[in-house]
Amino acid sequence: MKIYFCCTDFKAEPWLAALRTALPQAEIEVWAPGAGPADYAVVWAPPQAFLDEQPQIKALFNIGAGVDALTQLKLPATTKLVRLDDAGMSVQMAEYVVHALIRHFREFDIYATDVAGGKWSFRKPRLREDFPVGIMGLGVLGQRVARAVQAFEFPVRGWSRAPKELHGVRCYAGEAQFAEFLAETKVLVCLLPLTEETRGIMNRETLSLLQPGGYVINVARGAHLVEEDLIPLIDSGHLAGAALDVFRQEPLPAGHPFWRHPKITMTPHTAARTLRDESVAQIASKIARLARGESIAGIVDPSKGY
Ligand code: NDP
Ligand code: OXD
């Protein structure tokens, strides 16, 4: 069995070592243009040339949960696209969202500024009932985040494409219930995949439907947010601020207004990192299952784009 590693932004050597240990029977190499045909590939944002040269490949294993860098390419018709499902990311995502939510809710940034200025003062306690958290995307990551937020006793709402029933979560589904979901939300968390349906889903019109004093936590993809619409909504007072991990252009260009805005906190696309050992173990187990003719989780449905 031959497997190529074709991942931009990842150092190849440690991945090759881990893959070779997990799949000792396989021949595993970094892909180079003109290389012979392989059975599988481990990929992250591969070039179109790779896909054009390898139409026989049975499955592409994306070393991330989001497959938007791949769905914008032309994939061979018979190749399965497989994403990571969890592989250690959901607990990181839960940490990130709970941290951003509680920092905002408890006004810890204001305390930090006060303390840095030598000021000893108290903020009025706020009620968590006044901070309903709405999670867009109730998949592997969204459901884990919902459980973590529930543990802190915030009201939780969720929105997905197909209707769901989740204990303790008021669930909404589809376009028909989107406005109602937003109206029931003060802290909006985006955990959607980036598809043609979800691109630009957070914009002036939709964010205006959030409860006054709304807060945005975007941990999915930068293109879910119409960036130009965010600062006017914050400066008008409708939104209290935002915590952003992802941006339309990454790294965020110097001079982008988000760098300077006091009510926007940012991290460099790090909410849930790909963990090498967990990812390799998951990919190796999926390859073994496919070889036995068994089903695997995480196959992307081309008609949905996730
Ligand atoms: P899943 O595929 O498990 O879940 C996607 C969820 O989004 C599902 O609940 C799905 O609904 C819902 N959804 C998709 N399209 C629509 C739509 N048009 N309307 C309403 N709901 C929709 O993905 P994951 O939870 O594993 O990952 C989510 C995203 O998180 C990734 O695609 C990636 O972009 C991002 N991510 C970001 C990271 C970071 O570090 N910032 C790290 C990892 C992932 P349904 O259940 O009905 O199908
Ligand atoms: C992912 C990511 O999609 O890290 O896994 O953004």
Per-residue DSSP letters for 26-80? SEEEE--TT----SEEEEES--HHHHHH-TT-SEEEESSS--HHHHTS---TT-E
304 in any annotated domain: no
Residues 75 and 97 both lie in one domain: no
**245 in contact with ligand 1, CB cutoff 6 A:** yes
Does 221 qualify as catalytic in the annotation? yes
Type of residue numbered 104: H
Q: What CATH number corresponds to the domain at position 105?
A: 3.40.50.720
Cα(116) to centroid of ligand 2, in Å? 35
Q: How far is CA 234 from the centre of its chain?
A: 23
Residues 129 and 34 both lie in one domain: no
Does 167 qualify as catalytic in the annotation? no
CB atoms within 10 A of CB 288: 13
Whole-angstrom distance, CA of residue 209 vs CA of residue 211:
6
14 in any annotated domain: yes
Question: According to the model, what pLDDT value does residue 31 have?
Answer: 98
204 in any annotated domain: yes
Nearest to 42 by CA among 72, 8, 76, 68: 8
Type of residue numbered 206: T
pTM for the full model? 0.98
Which of ligand 1's atoms lies nearest the C-alpha of 141? 25
Question: According to the model, what pLDDT value does residue 233 have?
Answer: 98
253 in any annotated domain: yes
Question: According to the model, what pLDDT value does residue 77 have?
Answer: 93
118 in any annotated domain: yes
Residues of the chain below pLDDT 70: none
Question: According to the model, what pLDDT value does residue 268 have?
Answer: 98
298 in any annotated domain: no
**139 in contact with ligand 2, CB cutoff 6 A:** no
Domain range spanning residue 11?
2-87+274-291
**66 in contact with ligand 2, CB cutoff 6 A:** yes
Question: According to the model, what pLDDT value does residue 279 have?
Answer: 98
Residues 51 and 103 both lie in one domain: no
Q: How far is CA 305 from the centre of its chain?
A: 14
The number of domains in the chain is: 2
CA pseudo-torsion sign 209, 215, 219, 225: positive
31 in any annotated domain: yes
